[in-house]
A and B are shown apart, each in its own frame.
Chain A
Amino acid sequence: MARYFTDEHEWIELDGDTATVGITDYAQGQLGDIVFVELPDAGKALEKGGDAAVVESVKAASDVYAPISGEVTEANPALEDDPSLVNSDPEGEGWFFRMTVADKGQLDGLMDEAKYKSFCDGL
């Protein structure tokens, strides 16, 4: 399994033909206390770079973008009851949704963990 990162602070993990998407620990730290996550419904077609979800913190609403194109297969039901999972475990239990992978080639343009870390260090 390989995990990739975007410069908009989403992570995407490939597992066979599907991928799991969430936001990074850096992103949740910037957003602060998350009170609501609006997730896409299963079946929704996503386009790379397009709107995929919305995170509401106490402070503000922030968009989450699709790291690649594909179709949503499942949204994380746990976030409905406990959106703070995104704060406590953003890169694990706090995942956002799963999706199909339309074009694996789109992953090549994303960062690996080491590259993303140095990207954040430079912010």
Chain B
Amino acid sequence: MSDDTDTIQETEALPLDAWHRRKGARMVPFAGYHMPIQYEGIVIEHDWTREQAGLFDVSHMGQLMVTGENVAAELEKLLPGAIATLKPGKVRYSLLLNDEGGILDDLMVTNATPWIAGDEEAGTEGHWGDPAYYIVVNGATKWDDIAWLREHLPDEITLTHMDDHALIALQGPNAATALNRVMRNVIDDMVFMESVCHDFGEWPLRITRAGYTGEDGFEISLPNEHVETLCNRLCAEIEVRPVGLGARDSLRLEAGLPLYGHDLTAEIDPVSADLTFALTKTRRETGGYKGHDYVSAALRDGTKNRRVGLVLDGRLPAREGAKVFAGDEEVGRVTSGGFSPTLGHPIAMGYVAMAQAEPGTALEVEVRNKRLPAKVATLPFVPHRYHRGK
């Protein structure tokens, strides 16, 4: 065996691989897996998600469970968000930062501490079990994240990669209606960024009201062997159709949500990325997390560039890498861009110099030696419709 064969990464099949192919998906390699880029067509699937409910396979993402005594305090050394005050069942968007404040990944962390029911006969009362945090990280970065977390968390903290679990997302204004019909009363009291465990028959599900489309919706984690049956149950509802990665990208772009590896990298800090909402206020002062010095300097002194939205006239999209100009001066780059099916014109996200970052600023984007007029726009391009409750 030559050394080369060890380094060639095989594209792997996810638990829903055969299901996607039966549904007519066009499969492409993504983050090391065969993934469905589309079934019927990106625009049809995009519109369906905005109007009904799209079912996405996101099993390529890394699902981690972190447990152990003091786990919240240990996670706070690596994440700039408040973890210790995050109540059981609550979810928070956070960032994995390096020592220089660069973003290694963006992630969702859920306080998954279980409630242990009391037993009247035994005379025990209900109580919270051992602290546990469920973390979902990006597929393309999960191996690096796991290595980073393992390196920087003490040995007493247990880190489990839940690679025996699939993850699907049901997204759209009718996601709740459809899910309620399949499993009654489970999501009644849930609002955006909450998570529950639910036994669906014998299957243990974790249902989280969150997503990556800007719509109301749910992410459901469950053991690999049951995911195909659950997808069939959900797709039997008239509101639900499978949606591929192509529409996932156009939906998240309209929702102004950054994509790691494109809009966020290890060279970009949270302030430049306009993700200060992920920097919990109390922790901005107290610090104690990797990269805090750089992050507080960026908060105090400001940054050179900022992530902004760009709206283009006409129909020609500006893609990742396109240069942004203010007059003759190059002031930034597009980090992701495309055509917005909802708005009917091109949109993009990118980094521009602070002086040009105000919404309404007129700029130009260069595409194939042509300068296209663009305007800085407030994100999101399409308003979020999360279910925040009363």
Contact = CB atoms under 8 A, between A and B. Distances in A.
Interface of A: 32-33, 35-36, 38, 54, 56-61, 83
Most interface-central of B250, B317, B341, B368 (chain A CB within 10 A): B317
B315 A59 contact: no
B368 A59 contact: no
Most interface-central of B37, B339, B341, B346 (chain A CB within 10 A): B339
B317 A33 contact: no
Nearest to A30: B26
A36 to B, nearest CB: 4
Nearest to A35: B339
A54 B368 contact: yes
A33 B339 CA distance: 10
B43 interface: yes
Most interface-central of A33, A54, A57, A60 (chain B CB within 10 A): A33
30 contacts: A32-B38, A32-B43, A32-B246, A33-B41, A33-B341, A35-B315, A35-B346, A36-B314, A36-B316, A36-B317, A36-B339, A38-B316, A38-B368, A54-B368, A56-B316, A56-B339, A57-B42, A58-B42, A58-B43, A58-B246, A58-B250, A58-B338, A58-B339, A58-B341, A59-B37, A59-B42, A59-B338, A61-B317, A61-B319, A83-B315
B385 to A, nearest CB: 21
Nearest to A51: B368
A36 B368 CA distance: 14
A51 B317 CA distance: 19
Contacts of A60: 319
Nearest to B316: A36
B365 to A, nearest CB: 14
A96 to B, nearest CB: 16
Contacts of B314: 36
Interface string B338-370: 110100001000000000000000000000100
B317 A35 contact: yes
A58 B339 CA distance: 5
Interface in B16-54: 37-38, 41-43, 46
Contacts of A38: 316, 368
Contact of B315 (A32, A36, A54, A61): A36
A58 B246 CA distance: 8
A77 B206 CA distance: 54
Nearest to A81: B315
Contacts of B42: 32-33, 57-59
A67 to B, nearest CB: 21
Interface string B249-265: 01000000000000000
Nearest to B315: A36
Contact of A59 (B246, B316, B346): B246
A54 B43 CA distance: 20
Contacts of A33: 41-43, 341
Nearest to A80: B315
B42 to A, nearest CB: 5
A35 B338 CA distance: 10
3 closest Cβ pairs, A-B complex: A35-B339, A33-B43, A36-B315
